[in-house]
Amino acid sequence: MYDGWKIILGLIVFVIIVTLPFTMSIGKPYVQPKPSIDTPEIQKMEKKQCIEPKQYMREMHIKILYSWKDYATREGKRVYVASDGKQYDVSLQNTCMKCHSNKEKFCDECHNYVNVKPYCWDCHIEPKVGGVK
Amino acid sequence: MITRRDFLKIAAFSSLLGLGGAFTINALEKEPGQKVLKDINALKGKRWAMVIDTRKFKTELDFEKVIKACHKAHNVPEIANPLHEVKWIWTDDYKHSFTHTAEEYISDEIKHRKFLLLCNHCENPPCVRVCPVKATFKRPDGITMQDMHRCIGCKFCMAGCPYGARSYNFLPPRDYIKEFNPEYPTRTLGVVEKCTFCNQRIDKGQLPYCVEASEGKIIFGDLYDPNSEIRKVLSENIVIRRKVELGTQPMVFYII
Amino acid sequence: MLDLALKGKPRYWIWISFLITMILIGFICWLREHHIGAAFTTGLSRDVSWGFHVGQLTFFVGVAASAVLVVLPYYFHNYKAFGRITVIGEFLAVGCVLIAMLSVFVIMGQPSRVWNVILHPTPHSIIFWDMFVLMTYLFLNLLCGWTILHAEKKDAPPPKWIKPFIYWAILWAPSIHTVTAFLYAGLPGKPHWMTALQAAHFLATAFAAGPSLLIIISMIIRKVSKFDPGQQAINKLAEIATYALIIHLFFIGLEFFTAFYSQIPDHMKSLIYLYWGLEGHDRLVPWMAISTLLAFTGLLIFMFPPLRKWNVTKLIGAICIFFSIWMDKGFAFVVSGFIPNSFDRVTEAWIALNEFLVAAGVWSVGALVITVLYKIAITVKEKAVFDKYGQKQVVD
């Protein structure tokens, strides 16, 4: 093999880089994210349910929000009719965050865990926890 | 037998494909089965337009009330440097508001009068024509909408708009907002913004903030409805518009 | 063939390292803009929303299109003297299209959303078409240049299937610059840009600046390698540049006539601003004075055959023309379109250091690609002592 040592060295470097995500987390304790729904607004509710059932929201919330932004901004449709027939204002700030007023303990909990950074908050204002921003 | 050269070719090609894959955007499609409707209270119109009765704006306060109502509600940053300021509604004098058509020997009172300027929501808007991503688009009711989620910040619309109605976020907007309205978003660095004729209020059956705050000095309505108040006002007064010669059909009229 | 780019003298590697350093600096400056905002890092404003980068797009699309000037005479008119340098022209186009496309990319305030252009295709927007024609032109030139060079390396005639692509590229060249002109020529309220002459004028400037750059590059190639692009070819390029420059100056005259005979204020104001200053604003007057002076110096040199043919004056003339047009089209033309602004006031613009360094990074990307492609092309050509017409193309 021509330049055999170069190829082998390259392969070693490649393997190290590819396995970095696994090797870097060795020794770190696994902490399951626990998004909190303990907010004054939710506590006041009789039946503690989001606009749709929990499992659906868990899987689909980003798709809902993603389509909401188009419905509201581009089509002027601002009334969401939930599967149980209840109606909600199509608004991240004025519907979702009115109940989930604890962004850090709710949204960020999982987003940080899976290392996603939704750009919603570049523009949308998160609820006041002792002041906006 | 595969030659070393061919192997390298295949390897290079497949890694190129892999790289491409890494950049593939997560094109989220709309979640099917959702039911999202228009508000039954929404104002219905075919062509929203505005008449500004400039005779009725007398004091500084008259203008300030209108501008503040809009800028505060929409979290418009207050940037002092005119090069980089962001404004949705503002004032200018006669000569600079009505370039080309300003009369030299008109009364001094009109010469020194101030005029409210905002997006004209043109019937034939050049900004919509030039936008490469449909971030700015025409709503069926005539509003020239700006989707700040989609804007890529190319600033072509700013060159296209002949009315200087568009502002680019040259500065991080949140650093220049004193008091936030928690019910409306801010914008972010690198997008273009402008007046939206308060689309969010129209969709819920309310008049734009500026109209409300003007206490009757601004009339808002459906230009295509012959029985509307705005048509009555237009037929009873002599009005002018900015740069009609360009064929953009501005929807903001001024009673002199 | 790519391996040919990996063997070079120290000066080759110094040049490559310099370009990579400039690219890194440009990249850091670009990140900086998106961190602190364009207010501190560009010369742009609410009134002048396009500036230096869009100028670079405009200018370099032109240079890229001018590759057609060596490809067309060779393939359509069998002009043999250009046979040796068609590949040089095509590879120059590849680098310049890259510069043009990156120049658009760096003006974007939200670069991560660039895919929206493809995700939401908008045929009524000229930027959409610009992206499309530039991508196609990039692909065509890379394909044609590479295939022909590969054949040359094997000492074989180029494959027949490449011919349609070559003709396609030839037809495509004027179209890319026409589309660039359409970015400007259809905007109401921008009278300085809105002239039906725009595309023709862009092509004239492109066909003066492009060959001038090819002359400069040919001289450099002669200096640093054994490959000789050919004196006849270089002389012909200078002739083409002369005619194009005269047409460009003629077109400026036409713009002046229309503006000043009609006496329409907005048509005159941009020109007054550029050449004399408007309402006390005259930042671009010296800039345009230098550009005009360079244009006429270039013209004087190229108008007289002895000066045009003598390589020393030819090089000076080519540099003059190239920079004259770069100054005009690459900046002044863009800014002056915004003057006066929508309120009949004057807001001037200049180039910020950060902005310049980003542009330098973009040029360096183009230069790096061109360098690597030329290295391959020249190495191939140095190995063949005679070109396909039996002319000696290698100097000892």
- pLDDT band at residue B26 using 50, 70 and 90 as cut-offs: very low
C361 has pLDDT over 60 = yes
Q: Is residue C394 part of a domain?
A: no
Q: Is residue C389 part of a domain?
A: no
Give the per-residue pLDDT at B29: 53
Nearest CA in chain A to B202: A76
Is any Cβ of chain B less than 8 angstroms from the Cβ of C78? no
| pLDDT tens for each residue of C201-213 | 999 999 999 999 9
3-state DSSP of chain B: CCCHHHHHHHHHHHHHHHHHHHHCCCCCCCCCCCEEECCCCCCCCCCEEEEEECCCCCCHHHHHHHHHHHHHHCCCCCCCCCCCCCCCEEEEEHHHHCCCCCCCCCCHHHHHCEEEEECCCCCCCHHHHHCCCCCEEECCCCCEEECCCCCCCCCHHHHHCCCCCCEECCCCHHHHCCCCCCCCCCCCCCCEECCCCCHHHHCCCCCCHHHHHHCCCEEEEECCCCCCHHHHHHHHCCEECCCHHHCCCCCEEEEC
Give the per-residue pLDDT at A21: 83
- pLDDT band at residue B1 using 50, 70 and 90 as cut-offs: low
Boundaries of domain holding A100: 29-123
Average the pLDDT over C359-368 and give the result.
98
Instruction: Give the lowest-confidence range in B9-18, B38-47, C41-50, C287-296.
Output: B9-18
At what angle are helices C353-383 and C126-153 packed, to 10 degrees?
A: 30
Give the per-residue pLDDT at B32: 65
By CB atoms closer than 10 A (0-12, 13-18, 19+), residue C40 is: middle
Region for residue B216 given its phi and psi (left: phi exceeds 0; alpha: psi -120 to 50; beta: otherwise) = left
Residue C350 DSSP one-character state: -
Domain ranges of chain B: 58-216
Give the per-residue pLDDT at B9: 78
Give the per-residue pLDDT at B20: 54
Of B30, B35, B180, the CB nearest to A125: B180
Of B38, B75, B149, the CB nearest to A76: B38
Q: Is residue A76 part of a domain?
A: yes
Boundaries of domain holding C122: 2-383
Give the per-residue pLDDT at B23: 46
Give the per-residue pLDDT at B3: 78
- pLDDT band at residue A133 using 50, 70 and 90 as cut-offs: very low
Instruction: Give the lowest-confidence range in A37-51, A82-96, C44-58, C133-147.
Output: A37-51
Q: Which residues in chain A are contacts of B76 at CB distance < 8 A?
A: none
- pLDDT band at residue C385 using 50, 70 and 90 as cut-offs: confident
Give the per-residue pLDDT at B27: 47
| pLDDT tens for each residue of B170-188 | 999 999 999 999 999 999 9
Say whether C37 and B172 touch across the interface (CB within 8 A): yes
A132 has pLDDT over 50 = no
Q: What is the mean pLDDT of chain A?
A: 89
Q: What is the mean pLDDT of chain C?
A: 95
Task: Chain A: give the shortest CA distance to residue B164, in Å.
Answer: 23
Average the pLDDT over B87-110 and give the result.
95
Is any Cβ of chain B less than 8 angstroms from the Cβ of A4? no
In chain A, how many domains are there? 1
Q: Which residues in chain B are contacts of C342 at CB distance < 8 A?
A: 99, 161-164
Report how many Cβ contacts below 8 Å link chain A to chain B: 81
pTM of the model: 0.92
Is any Cβ of chain B less than 8 angstroms from the Cβ of A71? yes
| pLDDT tens for each residue of B28-84 | 555 667 889 999 999 999 999 999 999 999 999 999 999 999 999 999 999 999 999
Q: Is residue A18 part of a domain?
A: no
Q: Is residue C390 part of a domain?
A: no
Instruction: Please give the ipTM for the structure prediction.
Output: 0.91
Tell me the residue length of chain A. 133
In chain C, how many domains are there? 1
Neighbours of chain A (3+ CB pairs under 8 A): B
Nearest Cα to A102, choosing from A34, A52, A40? Answer: A40
Q: Is residue A17 part of a domain?
A: no
Average the pLDDT over A102-112 and give the result.
92
Is any Cβ of chain B less than 8 angstroms from the Cβ of A18? no
C123 has pLDDT over 60 = yes
For residues C208 and C244, is the Cβ–Cβ distance under 8 A? yes
| pLDDT tens for each residue of A25-40 | 888 778 888 899 889 8
Report how many Cβ contacts below 8 Å link chain B to chain C: 146
B28, B30, B36, B175: which to substitute to probe chain A, counting the most A Cβ within 10 Å? B36
Which CATH number does the domain B58-216 belong to among 1.10.1240.10, 2.40.40.20, 3.30.70.20, 3.40.50.300? 3.30.70.20
